[in-house]
Structure formats: structure tokens, C-alpha cells
Copies of this chain bind each other. A is one copy, B any other.
Amino acid sequence: MPRAVVLLSGGLDSAVTAAIARSQGRELFALSVDYGQRHRHELEAARRVAQSLAVRDHVIVPVDLSRFGRSALTGQYEVPKDRPADEMASGIPVTYVPARNTVFLALALGYAEALSAADIFLGVNAVDYSGYPDCRPEFIAAFQRLANLATKAGVQGQLDFQIHTPLAGLTKAQIIRRGLELGVDFGLTHSCYDPDPAGRPCARCDSCLLRLKGFAEAGLKDPLEYKAES
């Protein structure tokens, strides 16, 4: 089986991405990054998802991006709540972490080259949420080009690195339906940017709102227990 590296955040999107990679006959190697995110419950979720998908190996690399500052996700700003959909769809939010996906893909590239894996899977999604510059197709294409210039295996023609983003054209509802078809247990995932100490999602941050909207549009109930429900 050809090997693939999957960036696994513990969220819904990366879980479905990993399930798609497996359904395409790849042997999965998962990579998660402990980057100082305030929603650290997602790393526990990544472990659960990795286990449920029987990945061959799961590496969690600590890289403290909060040292650089400037993001709500690493604690420098408040996580925005209750934003209307049109506001979420315009502009880059304060949850943007400088160069985050560049760092994640760079680490995935090192891991992939060491494993002789040509394929890297990333769960970015441009339809429901286009605010982050490092989720756009032009960024992904530029990274793929870089990957083949940056590496011994790329330059010597042993591997042709491909960055796969199978969710890029899907709505959140479509992602959820695809995940269910592939047997993803969404109860294992974590999407909230600002959970309570027990890890329960807030139901009010952008990530919760998009997730709940996706389940509603898919005509399904999110298996997670939300803080606001209690």
C-alpha cells in the first residue's frame, strides 16, 4: 500500500480527510502539531481519531507558535463569538495564526520524505470558510511546487510530492455526509476554539457555528454534547 501523511488536527474536516485517504488505499501516517493552541482538547481528539482509523503511526510534534503571538487561537486575543455567517465569510479573522499551515505542511513534508511517502493529505475547505489565506488552492499549489524543489527525494525524482485537499470543493454538510458514508465517528472529533475545561464545545465560536450549520444542513444531529445545551 502506498504511504500517505495526513495532517490530523482532531477536527471534523481532518478526520474525514483521513478516512478518504484510507478509502483510496493509502497506509496512513498521522501528524498532529501541538502549537500552543488554547483548544488543546483537539490533540486528545486527534489521538482518538488516529486510533479509530488504525493509522500505522501518529506523531505529535510540539512547535510553540504562541511564542510569535498575534492570534486568538494561541491566546493573544479573545475568540470571537456569535458572528453572523456573512461576517465570517468576509475578511481574515483574529483566529488566523501566522504561517500556521506553512509550518504544518513543512513538517508533513519532512515526515513524508523520511517515510518515502509522496502523498500529503490536508483537510482545508474553501467553500464554507475562505477567510484563511493558507487554505486557498493557490497556496496549496505553491506549496506542492516548493515541496518538489525543497527535498532530496523531489529533486532526485524518487518521489513526486502531491498535496491532496479532497474537501476543497465541499460544503460542511457534504463533508459530514461523506464522513458518515466512510464510517467516521464524529463523536470522537473536536472543533471548538474555546471549549470549557471539560472539553465541551461552546456552540458560539466560528468553528462551532460552522459545524452546527453543517450538521443542520445535512439533516443530522451532531453527536457532541455542547456547553449551551446544559
- Spell out A's residues near B (CB within 8 Å): 59, 61-65, 67-70, 92, 96-103, 105-107, 109-111, 113-115, 133-134, 136, 138-139, 142-143, 145-147, 149-152, 154-156
Given the complex of chains A and B, what is the CA–CA distance between A61 and B105 in angstroms? 17
Closest to A33 in B: B63
A118 CB to closest chain B CB (Å) equals 13
CB-CB < 8 A to A110: which residues of B?
A: 65, 68, 97-100, 102-103
Residues from chain B with a CB closer than 8 A to the CB of A105 are: 106
Would B146 and A142 count as touching, CB distance under 8 A?
yes
Please measure, in the bound complex, the distance between the C-alpha atom of A181 and the C-alpha atom of B32, giving whole angstroms: 45
Copies in the complex: 2
- Is A133 a contact of B114 with CB atoms below 8 Å? no
Interface centre among A61, A106, A134, A156 (most CB of B within 10 A): A106
User: In the bound complex, do residue B63 and residue A59 qualify as a contact, i.e. CB atoms below 8 Å apart?
Assistant: no
Given contacts A110-B99, A110-B100, A138 and B142 within 8 Å (CB-CB): no
CA A139 to CA B61, docked complex, whole Å: 25
4 closest pairs, A vs B, by CB?
A99-B110, A98-B113, A68-B114, A106-B106
Q: Are A106 and B113 in contact (CB under 8 A)?
A: no
A123 to B69, CA, bound (A): 25
CB-CB nearest in chain B for A97:
B110
Chain B residues positioned under 8 Å from A150 (CB to CB): 99, 101-102, 133-134, 139, 142-143
